[in-house]
Amino acid sequence: MIRVLVNGALGRVGGEVCKKVWAEPDLDLVDVVDIKDGQVALGEGVVFGVNTDLVKAIENVRPDVVVDFTRPNVVMDNLRKMLPLGVHAVVGTTGFSDADLQEVDELARANNTAVLIAPNFALGAVVMMKLACEAAKYFPHVEIIEKHHDNKLDAPSGTAIITAQKIAEVREAMRQGHPDERETMAGARGADYEGMRIHSVRLPGYVASQEVIFGGQGETLHISTEPVSRECYMPGVALGCRKILGRTGLVYGLDKLL
């Protein structure tokens, strides 16, 4: 049994992770943590009281893996607290800078443990990125539109950033659009990653969808992913808990473990 502690257990995704870990025969939900008091109900009368002290909880229950779905502004602090305790981490929280990723890798190696950071745990999103990289070899003109619920704190999404980074590995940086184009309203053309434009839509009703659009002569190609519920992240999170054990350092992206 793999002993799993869920941090951010009262959140939208954290709550789903608790249910998934509880339901899997080889995963053992040993504790749940959040910044605030509360309870996590898992059905059939099973209720976990939420702990608010991550370090104490880890010291008490000694998990193998901590799953973190909290907030971009606290996740580095969480990792700085948990990694010296020797636990592995599976992190869905987004908003990491390159410097953060380097620090996580160094911290994990120094403590002989491993961290999976996956900007998107949905299998559809992982396959979308793979297909987008294939398409970009033939269609170098690319724009990305990501659409999320309006409670999301960071923009562009971690998935949009990693998609652009992966595409940039297979195509030359290039300027897109008319050489003389200008914005008459700031931001109209979206964020710029090596010439690729990224547009972030924030509206109630969306979960987390993304479309990568390729333009060619007389045609466009659209590759998109549309999760219908947060359950889509759960197989990836469970796989992360199983496959991160025995590794050292940072693993960035679920595709590395598939």
Residue 105: phi, psi to the nearest 5? Answer: -60, -45
Q: Choose between 76 and 196: whose C-beta lies nearer to ligand NAP.
A: 76
Burial of 215 (0-12, 13-18, 19+ CB in 10 A): middle
List of E strands, 13-73? 27-33, 39-41, 47-49, 65-68
Binding to ligand NAP in span 213-252, by CB under 6 A:
233
Residue 3 Cβ, how far from ligand NAP at the closest point, in Å?
19
Residues with a known catalytic role: 148, 152
For residue 134, what are the CA distances in angstroms to 16, 121, 128, 140? 32, 20, 10, 10
Contact between 34 and ligand NAP by CB under 6 A: the answer reads yes
Nearest approach, Cβ of 127 to ligand NAP (angstroms)? 14
156 binds ligand NAP per the rule CB under 6 A: no
Least distance CB 79 / ligand NAP (angstroms): 11
Task: Say whether residue 32 binds ligand NAP (CB under 6 A).
Answer: no
Buried b (16+ CB within 10 A) or exposed e, 219-248: eeeebebebeebebbbebbbbbbebbeebe
Site string for ligand NAP, 117-136 (x = CB under 6 A): -xxxx---------------
Contact status: 96 vs ligand NAP (CB under 6 A): no
8 A C-beta contact, residue 57 and residue 67: no
Closest C-alpha among 106, 119, 115 to residue 250: 115
Q: List the one residue out of 109, 108, 106 whose CA is nearest residue 91.
A: 108
89 binds ligand NAP (CB under 6 A): no
Rule CB under 6 A: is residue 7 a binding residue for ligand NAP? yes
Minimum distance of ligand NAP from residue 234's CB (angstroms):
10
Q: If binding means CB under 6 A, how many residues of this protein chain bind ligand NAP? A: 26
**Residues that bind ligand NAP in the complex, under the rule CB under 6 A:** 7-8, 10-14, 33-36, 69-72, 74, 92-94, 118-121, 152, 208, 233
